[in-house]
Amino acid sequence: MAVEVKIPTVMRASADGQASVDGNGLTVREIFSDLVNRYPGLKANLLDQEGNLHKFVNVYRDDDDIRYLEGLDTSVSEGAVVSILPAVAGG
């Protein structure tokens, strides 16, 4: 099942410069696995050594933050949009 994955500007170099790519899978974890297989440079930006989502990356399924759902095991359906947003800090 394909969904749209929006890639933030700071990660686009690792995704052949694309702002949006198709991702395949039934969960965010499966979609990220698909993305990392096609664009290996994204792995270091998305996942830590244990395969968990980096703390400085926010991921939304449509308008819902996956941290408040089932994390990487959050299900996705056909036509969903997964948005990757790097956390911003500052003062």
Q: Is 62 left (phi over 0), alpha (psi -120 to 50) or beta?
A: left
Q: What are the tens digits of pLDDT across the range 46-75?
A: 999 999 999 899 999 999 999 999 999 999
Q: Give the amino acid at 31.
A: I
Instruction: Please state, rounded to an integer, the average pLDDT across all residues of the chain.
Output: 94
What architecture is domain 2-86?
Roll (3.10)
Percent of the chain surpassing pLDDT 90:
89
Confidence at residue 52, expressed as pLDDT on a 0 to 100 scale: 93
d(C-alpha 63, C-alpha 57), whole Å: 15
Q: What is the largest CA-CA distance in the chain?
A: 41
**Confidence (pTM):** 0.92
pLDDT at position 74, please?
98
